[in-house]
Amino acid sequence: MNFEFQNPTRIIFGAGTITRLGEVVSEYGRKALIVTGGGSVKRSGVFDNVVASLKAAGIEYAECSDVEPNPRITSVSRGADIVRAEGCDVIVVLGGGSVMDASKVISAAALYDGNPWDMILHGQEEVYVPTEALPVITVPTLAATGSEVNCGAVITNEETTVKSFIQIPLLYPKVAVMDPELTVSVPKDQTAYGVCDLITHVTESYLNGVDNTPVQDRLAEGVIHTAMEWGPKAIADGNDVEARAQVMWAASVALIGWAQVGTDAPYPVHMMEHTVSAYHDITHAAGLSIINPAWMRFAVKSNTAKYVQFAERLFGLQAKSEGDLDCALEGINRFEEFLRSIDCPTRFSELGITDELFETYAKDTLKIVSDGKGNLPGRPFLSVDDMIEIFRAAL
């Protein structure tokens, strides 16, 4: 277990912290690009509050709105163009994971003359690794991805139907201003997707990582326990700020890196899902909710002891032995039941997706990440046929 870890993002967490945004932004720049998604932050009044806070601190702003749920590289280019045209020197992002991901890439693209798609891993031999970026201040309005406190971003190229990612320390946000009150208007289904998303972030590292990472395992289990306890409360009553706060913090901790250090884990479920949602405009977490249990049932035999641990520690089951496959499978059943209990889909058919493109998804996934021998890294490594089998089990 050798690793390096550093997460320099400064976190300001709590109800009402949004009022401090202007003061925080003024430490980093004089003119902000405010990046937003589909308009909910305008309808909810958050945008106006943010502008008021910036103005009070003497910060000017320009705007890049309408970033898509699966953010496109053209939106990145558009944002970078606005930064250059308007002379912005800091980026403030209001929204969920998609908007935050786009903003992180905009921060580097604005200082790069080439095509921003050069920075995204997508099977080309050389990826351009940016070395400078504008400061980014994240203001999450949805608890889900942890993007507010990590250095990753997932971007779609709509021309080539490729969805892939960048993850480099340069892209850590300078500050995350996390105000759970901003999430009270998130509808039930998106709240539930957020819960599924955050859980999947830790099941990936937990189930695909190397052996003997006991601290990391316990942290991951702690995040899942918390999500299963407080997620349903936030879904049941969106105005429960306490539940909103717990889910928001759990989502950040899920992908801040604490549960991942030293696990050296590939994220096969994410890689497969990215390919699916490059073809269908579905919420990322809906795809995860469908693929993850099916993947677990495929992978359980490769790493049974870990699934037994999952079953015992998360669902209180009692295994007969370390390799008790029945117990491991029952743990997966219970997990899937939890997803269904919060109304997340667990079959493609629920979203109207058929088996038509299963082979395409599998082959496309390998174009993004592969071991060079036609397999997707994970525990176990997956061939095209394996992936098709998993997709089919989730039909």
Smallest gap from residue 246 Cβ to a second copy (A): 6
Residue number with CB closer to a second copy (5 or 356): 5
Count the neighbouring beta carbons within 10 Å of the beta carbon of residue 55: 12
Kindly indicate which of the ranges 122-130, 208-216, 281-289, 322-330 contains the residues binding a second copy, using the contact rule CB under 8 A: 208-216
Please count the residues of this chain forming the interface with a second copy, following the rule CB under 8 A: 39
- Contact flag: residue 4 with a second copy (CB under 8 A): yes
CA–CA separation, 52 vs 38, rounded Å?
A: 20
Alpha-carbon distance of 269 to 292, in angstroms, equals 6
Rounded CA gap, 382 and 386, in Å? Answer: 5
Under the binding rule (CB under 8 A), the answer on residue 319 touching a second copy is no
Q: Which amino acid is at 189?
A: D
245 binds a second copy (CB under 8 A): yes
Among 165, 193, 249, 267, binds a second copy (CB under 8 A): 249
Contact call for residue 380 and a second copy (CB under 8 A): no
CB of 2 or CB of 354, closer to a second copy: 2
CB of 256 to a second copy, least distance (A): 9
3-state secondary structure of 76: helix
By the rule CB under 8 A, 318 interacts with a second copy: no
Q: Kindly state the tokens that stand for 294.
A: 């099916």
Q: Is 383 in the site for a second copy (CB under 8 A)?
A: no
Q: Is 316 in the site for a second copy (CB under 8 A)?
A: no
Are 198 and 249 spatial neighbours (Cβ–Cβ below 8 Å)? no
CA atoms lying within 13 Å on the CB side of residue 5? 13
Task: Find the distance separating the first CA and the last CA of the chain, reported in whole Å.
Answer: 38
Residue 176, phi then psi, degrees to nearest 5:
-115, 115
Smallest separation (angstroms) from a second copy to the CB of 214: 5
Q: Can you read off the two tokens belonging to residue 331?
A: 């743990």
Q: How far is the CB of 342 from a second copy (least distance, A)?
A: 17
Q: Is 242 in the site for a second copy (CB under 8 A)?
A: yes
Q: Could you tell me which of 211, 214, 232, 231 has the C-alpha nearest to residue 223?
A: 231
CA distance 136 to 175: 7
Asked if residue 2 binds a second copy (CB under 8 A), the reply is yes
* Closest listed residue to residue 291, CA positions, set 342, 346, 334, 331: 346
Cβ at position 167, least distance to a second copy in Å: 17
Of 253, 265, 319, 376, the residue at the interface with a second copy (CB under 8 A) is 253
Q: Shortest approach of a second copy to residue 151 CB, angstroms? A: 14
Question: Interface with a second copy includes 229 (CB under 8 A)?
Answer: yes
With contacts defined by CB under 8 A, name the span among 105-113, 160-168, 226-234, 357-365 that binds a second copy.
226-234
Q: How far is the CB of 223 from a second copy (least distance, A)?
A: 7
How many whole angstroms separate alpha carbon 162 and alpha carbon 367?
Answer: 9
> How is residue 282 written in tokens?
């579905």
Backbone region of residue 93 per phi and psi (left: phi > 0; alpha: psi in -120 to 50; beta: other values) = beta
Which spans of this chain sit near a second copy (rule: CB under 8 A)? 1-17, 212, 214-215, 217-219, 221-223, 225-226, 229-230, 242, 245-246, 249-250, 253, 258, 261-262
